[in-house]
Amino acid sequence: MKKCLICDSLIEPFVSFGRMPIANGFLQADQFQEEYFFELAAGFCPECTMVQLIEQPEPQKMFHENYAFYSSTSTRMAAHFQELAGRVKDSYMKSKDPFVVEIGSNDGITLRHFAAAGFRHLGVEPSANVAEAARKKGVQTVCQFFDENVAREILGAHGPADVFLGANVMCHISTLHSVVAGIKLLLKPEGVLIFEDPYLGDIIQKTSYDQIYDEHAFYFSLRSLTFLFERHGMEVIDVMPQDVHGGSMRYTVGRKGAHDIAGSVELLRERENALGLHDPATYHRLRENIERSRDELMNLLGKLKKQGSRVAGYGATSKSTTVINYCGITPELVEFIGDTTPIKQGKFSPGMHIPVRPYADFENNHPNFALLFAWNHVAEIMEKERQFLANGGRWIVYVPRVEIL
């Protein structure tokens, strides 16, 4: 039995997706032989309620100089983080010569707004290729895995921070206690941590099980985070649901007692009680829904194959790796995946080795059906793919349920 990474109690496993490759591990044919696999399974801690992976690959296997995820590929996400930067600048960068630190700063999608406005800032980003892309935008970046020791170094070199940011990264780091200790060390007494991650409540309500993959060590709720921060003398002072990545939550955290607590925190606590996020039965229901979703998707793809329809994937997302490998979607069922990210093109999807092709291949030779792996960007994609529908193409989605749109 595995112990909870937050409170050391025994975790209750509730779902296994079987043998799984690295979600962002797009590869060339000559790398198939050495492809790395691990057992992807999630569990629930009955004590602190943290949902987490049972086994997680070493960080260096996921985050390195060929990291495939460039944040700025989505214009929607660029707008989202511009909004965040604007809010933070207006509300929290008020001291004399303020300083902002961001972990998982990737290609500078957020910090570039602070750099452009002349604020002192520092990105901490262990994936060298995306860190370099940020530097090219004028964003100061150190290429390191953030933890308490790195926090101490930053404090020595730059002094304390007014704001600490982390988008879609806190849930990636299994040594979360060291990260939170580092954040507390680095923040001024009145400083705030603002971070956002996919929200467990949305995953449960939408059966968006494809959020479960190697990089996501944790699936946060207010309840489990309250437990975590309590241990560090910190507390959640505000929460704000975000309509990105299929449903995220933005949390603002400060030292205990240093700030007023917004009414949104109590409201979310009540919503989580109603959702049963503390109840093991909720996770068993989630597993049943996941299995049903898999069966329905495979039935549909099998039917389309039999009737001779061409199906292509849209968006070689990290999330798609879980769906493709768990369901067993082979290149016979989905002939290729179109994607706009240059580093993924010409490679193969992890595990099932479906070819990943430039977006133009989709545009120039529309399939009959497009399986929307980037379902979290549905609004942006529907807007730009009117021609696909006009040509008679149809979308297949599987979140929140399997259907042809």
Q: For binding to ligand TYD (CB under 6 A), which residues are involved? A: 69, 73-74, 315-319, 339-341, 344, 359, 374, 376-377, 380-381
Query: Considering the rule CB under 6 A, would residue 145 count as an interface residue with ligand SAH?
Result: yes
Which of 128, 141, 108 lies closest to 67, judged by CA? Answer: 128
Question: Residue 73 binds what, of ligand SAH, ligand TYD, none (CB under 5 to 8 Å, by partner type)?
Answer: ligand TYD
Which residues have a Cβ under 8 Å from the Cβ of 328 and sit 6 or more positions away? 298, 352
Chain centroid offset of residue 338 CA: 20
Query: Considering the rule CB under 6 A, would residue 195 count as an interface residue with ligand SAH?
Result: no
**C-beta of 180: minimal distance to ligand SAH in Å?**
12
Binding mask 151-180 for ligand SAH (x = CB under 6 A): ----------------xxx--xx-------
Binding mask 108-127 for ligand SAH (x = CB under 6 A): -x--------------xxxx
289 phi-psi bin (left φ>0, alpha ψ -120 to 50, beta other): alpha
Residue of the chain from 24, 49, 71, 141 that contacts ligand SAH (CB under 6 A) = 71
Q: Give whichever of 119 and 336 is closer to ligand SAH, judged by the CB atom.
A: 119
Residue of the chain from 20, 93, 101, 103 that contacts ligand SAH (CB under 6 A) = 103
Q: Tell me the torsion sign for CA atoms 271, 274, 277, 283.
A: negative
**C-beta of 131: minimal distance to ligand TYD in Å?**
18
**C-beta of 63: minimal distance to ligand TYD in Å?**
13
Q: Give whichever of 59 and 331 is closer to ligand SAH, judged by the CB atom.
A: 59
Under 8 Å between Cβ of 396 and 371: yes
Q: How far apart are CA 173 and CA 393, in angstroms?
A: 40
Question: Residue 374 binds what, of ligand TYD, ligand SAH, none (CB under 5 to 8 Å, by partner type)?
Answer: ligand TYD
Under 8 Å between Cβ of 266 and 215: no
Q: How far apart are CA 329 and CA 239, in angstroms?
A: 37
Q: Give whichever of 127 and 376 is closer to ligand SAH, judged by the CB atom.
A: 127
Which residues have a Cβ under 8 Å from the Cβ of 354 and sit 6 or more positions away? 313, 324, 329, 330, 331, 334, 335, 336, 337, 348
Query: Considering the rule CB under 6 A, would residue 194 count as an interface residue with ligand SAH?
Result: no
Q: How far apart are CA 114 and CA 75, in angstroms?
A: 18
**C-beta of 245: minimal distance to ligand TYD in Å?**
7
- Reduce the DSSP state of residue 368 to 3 states and report it: coil
Q: How far apart are CA 60 and CA 65, in angstroms?
A: 10
For ligand SAH, which stretch binds (CB under 6 A), given 49-57, 69-77, 299-307, 372-380?
A: 69-77
**C-beta of 104: minimal distance to ligand SAH in Å?**
3
Under 8 Å between Cβ of 27 and 35: yes
Applying CB under 6 A, which residues contact ligand SAH? 59, 63, 67, 69, 71, 77, 103-104, 106, 109, 124-127, 130, 145-146, 167-169, 172-173
